[in-house]
Structure 1
Amino acid sequence: MGSSRPARPAQLDPALVNQIAGGVDPERLSDLAHTTAASLLDRVHHTEDPQVVSRVLTLVDVEGVDLVAELWSHAEPDSLPGILWRLYMLRTWMTRDRESISRLWRVGEPVATAASAIAGVDQAPTEDDIARTADSILSGAFMGDFAVALERAGAFCDVMVAGLATEAKRRNARLSEGASSPAGADSSTVASTEGHVQRAAIARMLHHAASLRQTAADFRHGAALWRRDKLE
């Protein structure tokens, strides 16, 4: 999420790779990003074909992230392609890591109860609940009120931030308790190694939380722009 870039499987048409990498100027690529994002959103808003909706929701799953990334990943977060990119990446993360996310939700939900109500997730969601919520948020963006879908996405990120921060605090407390306990030479070496591993894990969690916090802010700003008809 945020500024990070996902791994990109080799599923993009080589001709398109050559065209994009071979000299399409940034302005033209930006125009293409905005045009494709607006066209995709408009088409789904005006269709009643469930197969079209299904294909759009699973665009990244079926086609790979390459084409979407080339078109949208560099778009500004206050633009329609930039926001759609974040929505698709949120769904990808929620679907892929549903088990760890459901655990984090149980940790973060008591801290961010208002956010959980907005996101529309139970207090103790199962892995399947997380996957259904991922589809619900993305389908809501295309089929329902776009701003509401963005607010739900932002609220979901808020609970994840609370979960990550709380878990990092717990781990740090346990690490501090272990460091203050007396130990022999051999066990001290093991404890030092384990402490290094735990500190690295805590740092990753806090970094991820910061990225999600910014993403949540991007979603909320996008919702405000959409309501003013200024998200393009």
Structure 2
Amino acid sequence: MSTNAPHFGNGSVIASRAAFTHTGSPRPARPGQLDQGLAENIAGGVDPEQLSEVSHATAWALLSHVHTTEDPAVVARTLTLVDHEGVDVIAELWSHAEPDSLPGVLWRLYLLRTWMRRQRDAIARLWRLGEPIATSASAIAGVDAAPTEEDIARTADSILAGAFRGDFAVALERASTFVDVVVLGLRVEAKRMTARASAMADVDSPVVGTTEEIHTLRGQAARLLHTAANLQTTAKDLRAGAHLWRRGQLE
């Protein structure tokens, strides 16, 4: 695997725990887009307690509105929210929300979609490493044992669409299962790198490598394992969100 391996931020797919901001209305004026007043509030800074309140209110308003609308344009804008507004703006709104909250879960879903689409080639390869034959994980996530880049992109859209238009808990379980398989792929790749580095370091091995090459391989393997650990946290957050949603406790 190249050194351009998929990478995540601190502790999870998310950058950390953030919140949603708003202008005072119970729902966004244009679902799937942020109004100008909201953007200005973000830039000017908002009280953390107010941010937390608005984070939850806006997440619920967005989710409920898309569930009830019959306008396909509204649905399309909501699913591509990050594409239109940018990850940084969305991060200001939701990324500090607790992982066991609706805005926290939605942030993870949006960022997961963005990552899957941007790193579709690497992720397709990681999936093939983590799921070499179709198992229950393939069925749950809705991915073949040997997905193409396009399959990964379609799955990313399908998971997020399912959260807004289908069973929210099922969408979270699909996302968590998908991440679980990618984690396995990262660990397989890291193990291969470590084994190669060890072979290079063995004086009796036919595999020859310089000290720098051995150090580089071990460093890459360590970074992959770190990414895998972060992703595992995200998978657990998504799975816990599904459990809370079914119990009516995801707020």
* TM-score, structure 1 as length reference: 0.89
2:5 aligned partner:
none
Distance 1:203 1:15 in 2: 44
Indicate the percent of aligned positions where both proteins have the same amino acid.
64
Distance 1:20 1:140 in 2: 29
Distance 1:27 1:148 in 2: 31
Q: What are the Cα deviations for residues 22-59 of structure 1, in whole angstroms up to 9, with x where unaligned?
A: 44211100011111110110010001111111101110
Aligned runs of 1:1-232 on 2, under 5 Å?
1=8, 2=12, 5=15, 19-20=41-42, 22-110=44-132, 113-181=135-203, 191-232=210-251
Distance 1:19 1:106 in 2: 44
Q: Is the 8 A contact 1:108 1:159 kept in 2?
A: yes
Structure 1 runs not aligned, ≥5 long: 7-11
Structure 2 runs not aligned, ≥5 long: 1-7, 17-33
Amino acid at match of 1:130: I
Q: What are the Cα deviations for residues 113-160 of structure 1, in whole angstroms up to 9, with x where unaligned?
A: 332221110010000000000000000000000000000000000000
When the two chains are superposed, the root-mean-square deviation of aligned CA atoms in Å is 2.4
Distance 1:143 1:204 in 2: 36
CA separation of 1:37 and 1:16: change in aligned 2, threshold 3 A = closer
Amino acid at match of 1:213: Q
* TM-score, structure 2 as length reference: 0.82
Q: Is the 8 A contact 1:161 1:212 kept in 2?
A: yes
User: What SS does structure 2 have at the residue aligned with 1:76?
Assistant: coil
User: What SS does structure 2 have at the residue aligned with 1:5?
Assistant: coil
Q: Is the 8 A contact 1:151 1:223 kept in 2?
A: yes
Q: Is the 8 A contact 2:14 2:111 kept in 1?
A: no
Q: Is the 8 A contact 2:134 2:144 kept in 1?
A: no
Distance 1:197 1:99 in 2: 22
Distance 2:210 2:242 in 1: 47
Q: Aligned-pair distance for 1:215? A: 0.5
Q: Write 1 or 2 for the structure with the bigger share of helix.
A: 1
Distance 1:139 1:170 in 2: 36
The aligned length equals: 223
